[in-house]
Amino acid sequence: MPLYEHVFLARQDVSTQQVEGLQQTFRSLIEENGGSVGKTEYWGLRPLAYRVKKNRKAHYTLMNIDAPHEAVAEMERQMGLSTDVIRFLTIRVDEHEDGPSAMMRRSDRDERDGAAARAAIATMTAAPVTAAATAVPTPPTAPDPTTRMIPNELDHDASAPPVLPPAQDLPLFRR
């Protein structure tokens, strides 16, 4: 049977117990139609990037599903009818990921970021400070806006059309 990863978003005013009830409802629906639900993860109440059906936050839930297409289509139809589900996304995958998903591994990422910051600080304090490193570079000087650049005849390509002064570039209109 095909494997799917399914994420659905429940409204922000629904309680966590009601989200678990929705999860159980969709799990039983999949199992009735000949499929199985492997791992389920509740990611919590998280802010949305933009308002969806007047909600600024939503309860995120992930389900790893091993079921025929008809079972997944029926579950999606039921989610479309439910007023508590504001969005859902089902993706067919080659294999399910073992262990926690990327959203649940956030604490690992935070620990790695801390280690990288500590290593960067250690390398900055270990490097000797030289006079060249402390010298302030001078900014490049800008050309004087009042002077006009005159093209050099050697730079001009003879096959190029002539460059007209700015006043002659504008079309003439009669009133």
Q: Which pair of structure tokens corresponds to residue 139?
A: 């900014």
Tell me: the pLDDT tens digits for 128-168?
A: 555 555 666 666 666 665 555 555 555 556 666 666 555 55
pLDDT at 102: 77
Residue 100 — very low, low, confident or very high, per pLDDT cuts 50/70/90? confident
pLDDT at 155: 57
pLDDT at 96: 84
Which of 31-45, 58-72, 101-115, 118-132 bottoms out in mean pLDDT, i.e. has the lowest? 118-132
Rounded CA separation 84/10 (Å): 5
Residue-range domains of the chain with CATH: 3-93 (3.30.70.60)
Kindly report the three-state secondary structure assignment for every residue of the chain. Answer: CCEEEEEEEEECCCCHHHHHHHHHHHHHHHHHCCCEEEEEEEEEEEEEEEEECCEEEEEEEEEEEECCHHHHHHHHHHHHHCCCEEEEEEEEECCCCCCCCCCCCHHHHHHHHHHHHHHHHHHHHHCCCCHHHHCCCCCCCCCCCCCCCCCCCCCCCCCCCCCCCHHHHCCCCCC
Interhelix angle 16-32/69-81, rounded to 10 degrees, is: 140
Q: pLDDT above 90 covers what percent of the chain?
A: 49
- Average confidence (pLDDT) over 90-111: 77
- Average confidence (pLDDT) over 88-94: 93
Residue 40 — very low, low, confident or very high, per pLDDT cuts 50/70/90? very high
Residue 39 above 60 pLDDT? yes
**In whole angstroms, how far apart are CA 129 and each of 59, 93, 106, 152?**
51, 53, 37, 47
